[in-house]
Chain A
């Protein structure tokens, strides 16, 4: 029997700047799109201290919004709220996705460049398993064990290789290490950002995992941070070659002073 679940999300991102900002842009990938296993029932993105300039679909078919800071803003609040109905597909998404050719997902990026740690893991997994699917499951298990959840041990620029070599990181690092290894095995793979329903409602951050292309199945999700394949607790927000192409919020500003970022995520089952 297919399991369907209705999840509600509240995701609040707050930037506080030391000094009022004269100019700045934010690129938001904060709108999930509906597909076979995910139906967006309602969704809103509201901004405080910034205004939406435009929206478009990018080359990974992500829904992107560009927003500009209100002149003089010293705080920006991005509030996402909505309800999404998710179907359990045991991680198998099939062939959905735009015109991007599969070979694109074999490309190394700075964050997913394999080093000695990833290469060693790839050799081990390749020797132990012969089927692609089994290899990716083995990879997922190895990364879940090999990278201990340790917030603050890495940052947004860290590579999967660094996280695996030091054995510490967060879901983003698990995903990057997975991509580095899967691509090194010749398997097209992409980064996914989104939300995960956990035992507790309040979370420190949105989630990240990976998807790999397997002949005959299409795109299949793997969450090495939790050592499972995504099910009806996962909402996909955006995909890309790495964090840089799928990050929920990125931007640039011209103004003095430091910024502090706080993220508040609530995911609840209805």
Chain B
């Protein structure tokens, strides 16, 4: 039955577009109560202006409902993106919203829910929603990027799930809300953990001592930037001088090459802990300027360095054995 209703709701939704829900708040009910009292008083004293005031306030409440609806109805969710994070870190989502109305919207509260299915129950208001953020003002036709942190749960892809925008503007008599479902997925790397040291000695047989090999320690000159060069090596001062991207070249201790393999962490008992250990090693190797590769049971990544390579390796860890 629930499933049937859920399906029906989603079908309806497809026909009509986004749904906006509205119910009176606590103050809305109190307001209504006061109005009833005023009406009773007006009737009892046959007071015409009492009637007028009561009807005016009723109408104000009614108009406020439309304003409240308007405030939320034309806010559109455009997309969301976020950079990969390590498990345990907050995912810093950037949510892009647009006000498609020709009037300004105010006080839009954002919440999200970590669930994949969209609820058919409109009264599911606060259950499961957390992490408030408020857009105080969104002018007509404007877009806004909201930095919205969401805690990462576990390695792998994590989607934003359901986002709810809600508002009580203008009078606080109504609670208006609407849902968006985002398909945006963010990669969560394993948490870098582990007590094992970087397995340097084992695998450093073919160490290269050529001084021309690039290293991290001693500055040896500038070279033109090529795609894939690490951002942190960009010579910003030089850039300011003559507008050419250059890379600082270093020579010095060469870390050599290092293959981080699944076997090396075989002593760690837990599956996830092994991945965490590998993750930590990758970061350490990257930091140390060692060329490293990754050898997993179902995946082999050859030696390399740089941000792209690191992402490559970490992605492999994040998605390892993930059905």
A binds B: no
